């Protein structure tokens, strides 16, 4: 944008030209003469200058410009000097009624293709992007499924992050087919090459019987809370709505479950379930960050619930103060999108694995030992890559003498935080279908050298649980495999 030093002046924009100023009825510029001011206006808002000034640089015959109450033609024309605080008014000739608007719409229709709603729906199915540019209160009454819901005021700010391919077909939709034409023009000016407007807008879309949905809307408080997510193209309002509608079950409110739960709650996962029959002990407080000194002796699920709701009162917390067993595991897992396994014993890990395999639920596994931690995702049903289940790696538990508990072996207090946060990251990736989950990959962290290592995990085609060879073999109630502390 060219610089126009001089006094700060205000230019009043008439209604027929406000489409070039994003609806603004006045624009402030710096200029020394009327001509400088009009040029600065054109630099800031492309397309408007040609409507005011002829190609030879003279004022168009059907436009008047007033400095205060005086027509600049009786002053010094475009070279009329401007005092500080001057107010210019552009006054074009109008035919009355909606004629100016109709002329502008007719101009747009000569350059912007218009699609019937059924045609737009077909293009959307084939990979085109449908953009609902209506305001939030309108969208709350219904919107086409899978549409990008961008209010007109945010279109230019966010569209390039959401649709980086300028050759991808994009279609704008408003309430009745008028605002979408102006939005389509703005997209063309940004460089999008396949832009169309939907005839009749959402009113006709709905009348034609095409799919509609009532999108989940966020309150102003939620928009403020999740603003950093909303500004990310990979998440946005649709992704945050998906998180708010998600359900994650955490097995254990201990070293791994605490940090994972904290960040899943902060991220806005709408429902968190917590399974744990233990009570808060003083020795837990070195690493289990949901609990406090004042809650020693309290059920861990109750302590966790209090901390999570204090962080984010807008989510739901379901608590299950019971030990996970083969008789209750399917009932507890039912309805959850995924499971975060923060258990610290082999019987529970095998039970979680077997139930997740049977119910086809992703199992985000974490484990810690002294200075080392491991994270992976057991999900044999992952569409992109066949991964193993826990039994593919370890068909049976180790003997007790080779599996000391954390109480015996100890664990660095911050280590479960690192592993639990990695589990939370994998959970959010899966809920939003982002990135490459740790399916078939084991991520190991050794805190002493500060090193991450990754290893490939392969499914066992002969695995009795996730292999493709017959009925589910049933749950095994193992006896304790971890030695108790001396």
Do 412 and 446 share a domain, yes or no?
yes
Q: Specify the CATH number for the domain of residue 53.
A: 3.10.20.30
Q: Are residues 170 and 86 in the same domain?
A: no
Residue 12 has pLDDT above 90, yes or no: yes
DSSP 8-state secondary structure symbol assigned to residue 393: H
- pLDDT of amino acid 206: 93
Q: Is the pLDDT of residue 1 over 50?
A: no
- Of 43-57, 68-82, 87-101, which range is least confident? 87-101
Same domain, 36 and 146: no
Whole-model pTM: value is 0.64
77 within some domain: yes
pLDDT tens, position by position, 421-460: 999 999 999 999 999 999 999 999 999 999 999 999 999 9
Please report, for residues 124, 331, 383, 437, 486, the alpha-carbon distance to residue 445 in angstroms, rounded to integers and kept in the order given. 44, 34, 27, 17, 28
Q: What is the mean pLDDT of residues 238-248?
A: 92
Q: Does residue 337 lie within any of the structural domains?
A: yes
50 within a domain of the structure (yes/no):
yes
Is the domain of 259 the same as that of 311?
A: yes
Strand partners, 132: 149, 173
**Does 116 share its domain with 52?**
no
Does residue 12 lie within any of the structural domains? yes
Last residue of a domain, one of 207, 234, 264: 207
Report the DSSP beta bridge partners of residue 131: 148, 172
Q: Are residues 28 and 108 in the same domain?
A: no
Looking at the structure of the chain, the number of domains it has is 3
Are 355 and 442 part of one and the same domain?
yes
Confidence of residue 214 (pLDDT cuts 50, 70, 90): confident
Q: Is residue 235 part of a domain?
A: no
Q: What is the mean pLDDT of residues 259-270?
A: 97
Res 135 pLDDT > 80: yes
Q: What is the pLDDT of residue 486?
A: 32
* CATH code of the domain covering residue 137: 3.40.250.10
Average pLDDT, integer, range 340-359:
93
- Cβ neighbours around 292 below 10 Å, total: 14
Q: What pLDDT, on a 0 to 100 scale, did the predictor assign at position 311?
A: 96
Average pLDDT over residues 4-33: 86
- Looking at 182, 207, 232, which one is the last position of a domain? 207
Answer yes or no: do 88 and 106 share one domain.
no
Q: DSSP of 75-130, one letter per residue? A: TTGGG-B--TT-EEEEEE---STTHHHHHHHHHHHHHS-EE-HHHHHHHHHTT-EE
Flag the least confident range among 4-18, 201-215, 217-231, 253-267.
4-18
Q: Tell me: do 106 and 89 sit in the same domain.
A: no
Positive or negative, the CA dihedral 93, 98, 101, 105 is: negative
With respect to residue 240, please indicate whether it lies within any of the assigned structural domains: no
| Residue range 202-212: mean pLDDT, rounded | 94
**121 and 194 share a domain?**
yes
Which residue segment(s) compose the domain that 364 sits in?
246-456
CA 475/CA 17 separation, integer angstroms: 72
429 located within any domain: yes
Q: Give 477's pLDDT tier (boundaries 50, 70, 90).
A: confident
Q: How much of the chain, in percent, has pLDDT values that exceed 70?
A: 93
At residue 139 the predicted structure's pLDDT band, cuts being 50, 70 and 90, is confident
Q: List phi, psi (to 5°) of 440.
A: 75, 15
Nearest-angstrom CA–CA distance, 391 and 480:
17
End-to-end CA gap in the chain: 76
- Under the banding of pLDDT at 50, 70 and 90, the label for residue 485 is very low
Residue 307 sits in a domain whose CATH number is: 3.40.50.720
Residue 224 lies in a domain: no
Please report the pLDDT score of residue 2 as a whole number.
Answer: 45
- Please tell me the predicted confidence (pLDDT) of residue 322: 94
423 and 283 both lie in a single domain: yes
The domain boundary residue, chosen from 64, 93, 122:
93
Q: Looking at the structure, do residues 86 and 161 belong to the same domain, yes or no? A: no
HSE-up (13 A, CA, CB side) for residue 329? 24
274 falls in which pLDDT band (50, 70, 90)? very high
């Amino acid at each position: 944008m060219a610089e126009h030093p001089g006094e700060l002046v205000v230019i009043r924009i008439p209604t027929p030209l406000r489409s070039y100023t994003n609806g603004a009825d006045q624009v402030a510029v710096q200029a020394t003469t009327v001509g400088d001011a009009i040029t600065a206006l054109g630099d800031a808002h492309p397309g408007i200058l040609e409507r005011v000034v002829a190609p030879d640089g003279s004022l168009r015959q059907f436009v008047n410009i007033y400095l205060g109450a005086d027509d600049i033609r009786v002053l010094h024309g475009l070279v009329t000097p401007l005092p500080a605080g001057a107010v210019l008014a552009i006054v074009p000739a109008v035919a009355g009624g909606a004629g100016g608007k109709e002329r502008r719409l007719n101009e747009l229709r000569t350059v912007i293709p218009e699609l019937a709603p059924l045609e737009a729906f077909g293009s959307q199915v084939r990979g085109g992007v449908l953009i609902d540019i209506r305001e939030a209160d309108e969208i709350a009454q219904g919107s086409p499924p899978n549409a990008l819901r961008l209010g007109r005021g945010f279109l230019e700010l966010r569209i390039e992050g959401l649709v980086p391919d300028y050759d991808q077909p994009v279609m704008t939709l408003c309430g009745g087919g008028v605002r979408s034409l102006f939005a389509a023009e703005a997209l063309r000016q940004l460089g999008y090459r396949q832009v169309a407007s939907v005839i009749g807008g959402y009113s006709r879309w709905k009348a034609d019987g095409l799919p509609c949905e009532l999108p989940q809307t966020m309150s102003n408080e939620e928009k403020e809370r999740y603003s950093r997510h909303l500004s990310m193209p990979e998440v946005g309002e649709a992704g945050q709505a998906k998180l708010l509608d998600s359900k994650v079950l955490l097995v254990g409110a201990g070293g791994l479950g605490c940090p994972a739960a904290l960040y899943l709650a902060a991220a806005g996962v709408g429902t968190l379930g917590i399974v744990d029959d233990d009570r808060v002990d003083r020795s837990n407080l070195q690493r289990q960050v949901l609990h406090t000194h004042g809650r020693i002796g309290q059920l861990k699920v109750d302590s966790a619930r209090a901390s999570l709701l204090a962080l984010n009162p807008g989510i739901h917390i379901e608590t299950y103060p019971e030990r996970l067993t083969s008789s209750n595991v399917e009932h507890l897992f039912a309805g959850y999108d995924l499971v975060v396994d923060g258990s610290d014993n082999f019987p529970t890990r095998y039970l979680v694995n077997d139930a997740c395999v049977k119910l086809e639920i992703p199992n985000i596994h974490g484990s810690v030992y002294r200075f080392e931690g491991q994270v992976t995702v057991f999900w044999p049903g992952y569409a992109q890559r066949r991964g193993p289940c826990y039994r593919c790696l370890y068909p049976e538990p180790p003997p007790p003498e080779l599996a000391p508990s954390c109480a015996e072996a100890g664990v660095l207090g911050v280590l479960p935080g690192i592993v639990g946060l990695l589990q939370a990251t994998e959970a959010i990736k899966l809920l939003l279908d982002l990135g490459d989950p740790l399916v078939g990959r084991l991520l190991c962290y050794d805190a002493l050298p500060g090193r991450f290592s990754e290893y490939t995990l392969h499914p066992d085609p002969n695995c009795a649980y996730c292999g493709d060879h017959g009925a589910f073999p049933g749950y095994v109630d193992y006896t304790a495999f971890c030695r108790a502390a001396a």
